[in-house]
Chains A and B, each alone.
Chain A
Amino acid sequence: MEPTREKNATLVDVLDRALNKGLLINADLIISVADIPLIGINLKAAIAGMETMLEYGMMQDWDEALRAIAREKRAKAPEKEKIIMPVGEKNEQRTVSLLRDK
């Protein structure tokens, strides 16, 4: 497979890299705001690393990207009735109902 840099699908990857990686410089030399060097307070609040990004709003980007992959893969595979759903919290309800129906 070929690597992708498609802009919409990889925005999160760019943000992740530019915010959380890359070379940093000794704090004496650089601008800092109240002990938060490099990234100002508001910016931190708006995009406080990936965790927050994923929780608020940015989640959709990921979801979309991942779902697109899953959709594509599923489209190739033949349809099949699900027997047991996974253990994850989100699927709890579904697990219960599916098992009961049997």
Chain B
Amino acid sequence: MKDLQIEEQGRYIYCVAKGSEKTSLGKIGLENSMVYAIPSNGLLAIVHDCEQKPYDSKDEEKVKQWIKQHENVIEKALQKFETVIPLSFDVIIKGKEPGKEVVNWLQAEKERLERSLEKVKGKQEFGVQIIWDSAEIGEKLSEDKEKIKNLVKEMQKVPRGKAYFIKQKIKKELKQEMEKLADQKFKQFYSKVKEQCSEVKVDKNKKAGCEEMLMNLSCLVEKDKVSQLGKELDEINKLKGFSVRFTGPWPPYSFVT
């Protein structure tokens, strides 16, 4: 870093918590920078001082490292302050006196920040992803659905040319059945999960080879409900063709915007 005066340096913000002391969390920040709390009126911004430019690199490994450190600071803050509002990666407050800007921001947003803190208090975020094995589900459907079963039988008897058309029919039929099932299962699983959560966000599904994601949820859960949620997910995980990815606890990234 150049010879910037401390007042002139930007402030990288990790999270916001309740408190009033200008405490230090040690050199745990991005690239081992010193992390500390800026207090204002009952709220704390957890920051480190940095140049007034974003963290940016073409080196993916380096970026991943930064993000892990970002997450780590928020974890440490969670342990220390119990409830935090995590910020997105790479939020840096600029200005002539960034330290003051942080204080001003905490003051200006006080009400909204306190509301967010109240909402996530005593709760944790979890990721719930339900994956379905479309091969296995497709196979099961083709055994269960009379119409498809008959088409398969028919196809096996006819010559290749005609079989091609029947195969197209089977595919279309199977696709419809799978969509119907996906819809139905989504509703069923969603309501099971929702019962154990204070709030649920539906995230975009992600694809991964043959195993398709049926649903991708972020769940805000009270601490004493986590084991019950785990039990519900166990039931889903036992179903043939379905598997569950249960991750967390995460800082409440999905519930503070």
Instruction: State the A residues within 8 Å of B (CB).
Output: 1-5, 9-11, 13-15, 17-26, 29-33, 38-43, 45-47, 50, 54, 57, 59, 62-63, 65-67, 69-70, 73, 77, 82-88, 90-91, 95-96, 99-100, 102
> Which of A24, A45, A73, A85 has a CB less than 8 Å from the CB of B257?
A24
**CA–CA, A84 to B211, complex, Å?**
16
> Are B246 and A40 in contact, with the CB atoms below 8 A?
no
> Are B209 and A43 in contact, with the CB atoms below 8 A?
no
Residues of B within 8 A of A33 (CB): 53-54, 56
Residues of B within 8 A of A65 (CB): 208, 245
> Which of A9, A25, A45 has a CB less than 8 Å from the CB of B13?
A25
> How big is the B interface, by class?
35 or more
Instruction: State the B residues within 8 Å of A (CB).
Output: 10, 13, 16, 52-60, 63-64, 67-68, 70-71, 85-95, 101, 105, 116, 126-127, 131, 133-135, 137-139, 142-143, 152, 155-156, 160, 163, 167, 170-171, 174-175, 178, 204, 206-212, 218, 226, 230, 233-234, 237, 240, 243-251, 253-254, 256-257
> Which of A11, A13, A43 has a CB less than 8 Å from the CB of B56?
A43
> Are B230 and A3 in contact, with the CB atoms below 8 A?
yes
CB within 8 Å: A-B pair count: 213
**CA–CA, A75 to B79, complex, Å?**
39
Given A73-B237, A86-B138, 5 more contacts at CB 8 Å?
A1-B237, A20-B88, A22-B89, A66-B211, A87-B178
Closest beta carbon of chain B to A3's beta carbon, Å: 5
> Which of A59, A69, A82 has a CB less than 8 Å from the CB of B245?
A69
> Which of B54, B60, B233 has a CB less than 8 Å from the CB of A31?
B54
> Are A83 and B142 in contact, with the CB atoms below 8 A?
yes
A54 nearest CB neighbor, chain B only? B206
Residues of A within 8 A of B250 (CB): 13-14, 17
Residues of B within 8 A of A13 (CB): 127, 247, 250
> Which of A4, A5, A20, A31 has a CB less than 8 Å from the CB of B94?
A31
Q: List 10 A-B contacts (CB under 8 A).
A: A3-B230, A17-B253, A23-B86, A23-B88, A29-B93, A43-B90, A59-B208, A62-B206, A69-B131, A102-B152
> Which of B64, B67, B88, B126 has a CB less than 8 Å from the CB of A3?
B126
> Are B87 and A24 in contact, with the CB atoms below 8 A?
yes
Closest beta carbon of chain A to B230's beta carbon, Å: 5
Nearest first, the 3 A-B pairs at minimum CB distance are: A40-B56, A22-B88, A21-B253
